Amino acid sequence: MEGVGMGRQTWNEFGEKSSMCLLILTDIDDIAQFVGKCSVWPREAVPSNNTDVTTTTAPPHSTTTQEPLGINDCDFENMLGPFCAWMVAEGDNTKPWIWWSGPPDTVTPGPSKDHTYGTESGHYVYVEAELEDDPASATLYMPVMANPHCLRFWYYMFGELTPFLTAGTQKGDINELVFIRNGSQGDFWHPATIDLQFEGQNFNVTIMAYWETASAGIVAIDDVRLHENKCAHSPQDPEAIHDFEENGSSFSLVDGSDLDWDTMSVGHMARVDLHKYSAGDVGQIVSPVYLTKQTYRCYHLYYYMSDVSNSAVLRGYARLTDDGSGVALNMSKYSLFLHRGDEGDSWVSKRGRLGNVGNFQFIIEAEVVKNDSRAIIAIDDLYFPTDECLVMIACDFEHDMCSWTNTRDDDVDWQLMSPSDFVPGPPVDHSENSVTGHYVGLLGTYMPENGGYANLVSEWYMTSILIPASCFSFWYNIAFTNGSLTVSAEREQAWQILWRLESGPDPAWHYAEIPIYQEEMFRLVITGVLAKHPDTYLALDYINYDQLNECGSGTVIPAIADVVAQGELLIFFLCKRSTGQEQ
């Protein structure tokens, strides 16, 4: 059988230009057509002038042995049938999944490499939502299933307002969603493992991206595997997804804990409700010993923290051990992360560096810090990837707010903005130097009548005696006469102002650099204060925290924002006034 793949540009029913691949099998009367890009196939084909020979890109190469594909599996690598046995839903308000390799030609950046091979020539499928799109969905489905099945796949979600991604079962108009994700999950691939139960016959298995309101983002899928029987769980394998589906992923409550974590709860997660506990109560759960087969540079989990009373702290630790002995509340361990504050009714992705070199255990701790707590904390889907740990340290705000978040106890929120929004602000952003670029900002017009403030907070950072100093930098563009911009370091029991600007310079982009010297875990807090006024604003762009290197200058930039120097300057002026030297 011979074949030729030809690509052309077409317009779909949404009025968007997309790539269409037309595959013609020359020995039989078949034509296959799908949305996506294709190369000439087979690898060598003679062009119409019969003078030159064209070759396609070399096939993907990976040093990892790939798991053989089953009848219901798909790695999206076969151009003869890109979607394998999976079907793409069609109809009103649907969008097609697009078959692709390398970075997609989209507004929102997508994956630069596939998951199967980790190369630009490997394939995956994606769908993009743009702000002007009407509500829509894109669905992959496998028809007519019965008996329990295990569904596994890798997904990528990135963007300013990323669509929902769901997976589950469908019978008629009834959908049972077992897996739900929403919001940007970072610029990397994530695994999903789902047990599907079928009661009766004629179910579809579905993987669906959808949006009901204005959305802007990419959802991509790769390496879909669907096998009969329940998913196999490997509680001591660091690379497995520890999702609390079976025996609580073998996590156990640490003796002496005041808080009673439930690792066998309905919904399959580790969960603790703090309303019946008092300030000072602590509870820990500990994993089984994870057997190290290679270097695990990273941990990844999802946490849920509903805490409008700001009354609890969530911490993560690891400990090196071969046999798991010596487990106690005060066992020797090292800190990985800390979180406090309300995240609302949503799951939050958390990824950080691990640095283990041997067998280890993972410890989750919750502590009540105020009486009358109403906090609920949960953990799910813990795993340890072996690839390079991609922890975001710089943010250009082009597609999301990275790991920076708003707090819930201030007056307004920092918002992603663009000069094209036609609101008070800089004429161009800094990162792209463009009217269509993005930054994060505050507007005086949205402040309360008596003025207000907003906090933008980083994730919690670990410290190390091996790295005595680090560097925080950003660009700012501000216009106000009554307000301030402050950078502080928040620790568990302390608060330190590092940098403060109390006058608005000319409305241009300015660079700020702050040496960071902290001896315990902390997070950075950027506080903007504005009076209510239609023309005032604060804008920030390209925020960068370099955890491994000191600032090149070694001093605060600009010097007037040095809080110590400002204090000395204030004393100087007060002294001059008291002696009558200044009017």
Per residue in 371-398, pLDDT (tens digit) is 989 899 999 999 988 776 655 578 999 8
For the chain, what's the residue count?
Answer: 583
How far is it, in rounded angstroms, from Cα 475 to Cα 459? 19
The H or E element that residue 574 is part of is: helix 563-578
Distance of CA 288 to the CA centre of its chain: 27
Does residue 348 sit within a domain? yes
Does residue 74 sit within a domain? yes
pLDDT at 5: 42
**363 and 405 inside one domain:** no
From 556, 514, 542, 561, select the one nearest 426 (Cα to Cα): 542
- Mean pLDDT over 300-312 rounds to 87
Is residue 562 predicted with pLDDT exceeding 60?
yes
Instruction: Report whether 460 contacts 523 (CB < 8 A).
Output: yes
Burial group, residue 52, by CB count within 10 angstroms (0-12, 13-18, 19+): exposed
235-253, pLDDT tens digit by residue? 899 888 898 888 889 999 9
204-234, pLDDT tens digit by residue? 899 999 998 888 889 999 999 999 888 888 8
**311 and 253 inside one domain:** yes
Is residue 549 predicted with pLDDT exceeding 60?
yes
**551 and 428 inside one domain:** yes
**133 and 178 inside one domain:** yes
- pLDDT classification of 505: cutoffs 50, 70, 90: low
Least confident of 59-73, 117-131, 441-455: 59-73
Structure-token pair, residue 520: 């315990």
Please tell me which residue, 307 or 534, carries the higher pLDDT value: 534
Does residue 24 sit within a domain? no
How far is it, in rounded angstroms, from Cα 64 to Cα 514? 43
* Final residue of a structural domain among 331, 359, 383: 383
Does residue 498 sit within a domain? yes
**504 and 404 inside one domain:** yes
Percentage of the chain modeled with pLDDT above 90: 42
Largest CA distance in the chain: 101
Instruction: Report whether 553 contacts 473 (CB < 8 A).
Output: no
- Mean pLDDT over 553-569 rounds to 70
- pLDDT classification of 261: cutoffs 50, 70, 90: very high
**192 and 310 inside one domain:** no
- Mean pLDDT over 196-204 rounds to 76
Least confident of 6-15, 116-125, 146-155, 378-387: 6-15
Domain of residue 197 covers: 57-228
pLDDT at 226: 93
**379 and 398 inside one domain:** no
**378 and 403 inside one domain:** no
Does residue 1 sit within a domain? no
Does residue 193 sit within a domain? yes
How far is it, in rounded angstroms, from Cα 417 to Cα 440? 6
Is residue 39 predicted with pLDDT exceeding 80?
no
pTM: 0.68
**What is the identity of the amino acid at 146?**
A
Distance of CA 46 to the CA centre of its chain: 45
- pLDDT classification of 1: cutoffs 50, 70, 90: very low
- Mean pLDDT over 529-535 rounds to 93
**355 and 426 inside one domain:** no
Does residue 199 sit within a domain? yes
How far is it, in rounded angstroms, from Cα 212 to Cα 297? 37
pLDDT at 252: 95
Q: What is the CATH number of the domain that holds 92?
A: 2.60.120.200
- Mean pLDDT over 282-294 rounds to 91
**336 and 417 inside one domain:** no
pLDDT at 100: 93
**336 and 457 inside one domain:** no
**302 and 438 inside one domain:** no
330-357, pLDDT tens digit by residue? 999 988 888 888 887 888 888 888 876 7
Q: What domain count does the chain have?
A: 3
Does residue 434 sit within a domain? yes
pLDDT at 223: 95
**What is the identity of the amino acid at 416?**
L
**Mean pLDDT estimate for the chain:** 82
